Amino acid sequence: MITYSSSDMDVTFVPVHQDNYAFILRTKCGVVGVVDPGEATPVIRALKKMELEPDYIFVTHHHWDHADGVAELKTHYLSCKVVAPDAEKHKIAAVDIPLKDGGVLEFGSQHVRTIATPGHTLGSLCYYFEEGNTVFTGDTLFSLSCGHLFEGTVEQMFSSFEKLKALPDETLVYCGHEYTRSCAGFCLRVDPENEDLKERIAQVKDLRDKGFPSLPSTIGMEKKTNVFFMAKNVGEFAALLRKKNS
Ligand code: ZN
Ligand code: FE
């Protein structure tokens, strides 16, 4: 199991399905959370190994590969509270705490603030852990890419990205899938002279070859390397999406 420790919070990667990540969070004061349990069994196994019981489950959006494990986790951990987008609460099992944009939840010593990021789905939320300076972006922002527009418009996704760009550059970014390597080629085609991008691609190749996640990224890193995150206006953003899909 791979755990990334920052001063305020440990984040453990739990690979689920083909290329999804669920995450187990533990604050320094011992509060435990799970993000996007798309499958219950591997998450429960990891929690048992770490001798932890979750206090909260955070769901970024209603898709099965992020939410299918919620019901089973709830039957295992009865006191655990499920936090999910208010707009998608009827599509996700057993939601206890539905949150809208700007909702704040106390998570031990941390404040978790929701950022509504419609585009991939209409209700998608990103969870920003303020003291830990960490954001979970689900299928909205990927390292070197952006989520597929299943429900929202290009304009919505662009303004969702604008909100994420407003976070501090050093913010750690955890995405819902390990897509970085497969997305690198498109960024490089659009921006072939970008030295930061070339460096990031080499780093990602090295990490993946060794079996490590390419995450977390940072907001600052995405600003320098992710062509979608670099788009200055919605027209530029739309042109990139058209080019990627063609
Ligand atoms: Zn999704
Ligand atoms: Fe997904």
Write the pLDDT tens digit of every residue in 82-107.
999 999 999 999 999 999 999 999 99
Q: How far is the CA of 119 from the centre of ligand 2 (A)?
A: 13
Q: How far is the CA of 177 from the centre of ligand 2 (A)?
A: 7
Residue 35 Cα distances to 5, 38, 150, 188, 205, angstroms:
16, 9, 21, 31, 26
The answer to whether residues 20 and 11 touch, using CB atoms and an 8 Å cutoff, is no
For residue 164, what are its two tokens? Answer: 């994420």
Closest ligand to 20 CA? 2
Ion ligand 1 — residues with CB < 5 Å: 63, 139
Q: What is the pLDDT of residue 246?
A: 85
Planar angle of CA 229, 230, 233, nearest 5 degrees? 95
Q: What is the pLDDT of residue 7?
A: 81
Residue 118: what are its φ and ψ, rounded to 5°? -65, 150
Q: What is the pLDDT of residue 209?
A: 97
Q: How far is the CA of 62 from the centre of ligand 1 (A)?
A: 7
Q: How far is the CA of 27 from the centre of ligand 2 (A)?
A: 25
The single residue listed with the structure tokens 């953003």 is 237
Checking if the pLDDT of 135 tops 90, the result is yes
Q: What is the pLDDT of residue 109?
A: 86
Give the Cα separation of 244 and 186 in Å (integer).
7
Residue 201: what are its φ and ψ, rounded to 5°? -65, -40
Give the mean pLDDT of the chain: 97
Cis peptide before 216 (omega within 30 of 0): yes
Residue from 125, 99, 100, 129 nearest 112 by CA: 129
Q: How far is the CA of 178 from the centre of ligand 2 (A)?
A: 10
Q: What is the pLDDT of residue 232?
A: 97
Checking if the pLDDT of 185 tops 90, the result is yes
Q: How far is the CA of 176 from the centre of ligand 1 (A)?
A: 8
For residue 76, what are its two tokens? Answer: 């295992």
User: What fold characterizes domain 2-245?
Assistant: Metallo-beta-lactamase; Chain A (3.60.15)
Q: How far is the CA of 171 from the centre of ligand 2 (A)?
A: 22
DSSP 67: H
For residue 32, how many other CB atoms are within 10 A of its CB?
20
Write the pLDDT tens digit of every residue in 18-47.
999 999 999 999 999 999 999 999 999 999
Strands 20-27 and 32-35: antiparallel
pTM for the whole structure: 0.98
Q: Please, which residues have CB within 8 angstroms of residue 162's CB and are 6 or more apart in sequence?
A: none
Q: How far is the CA of 106 from the centre of ligand 2 (A)?
A: 26
Q: Please, which residues have CB within 8 angstroms of residue 181's CB and are 6 or more apart in sequence?
A: 204, 205, 208, 214
Q: What integer is the mean pLDDT of 202-223?
A: 98
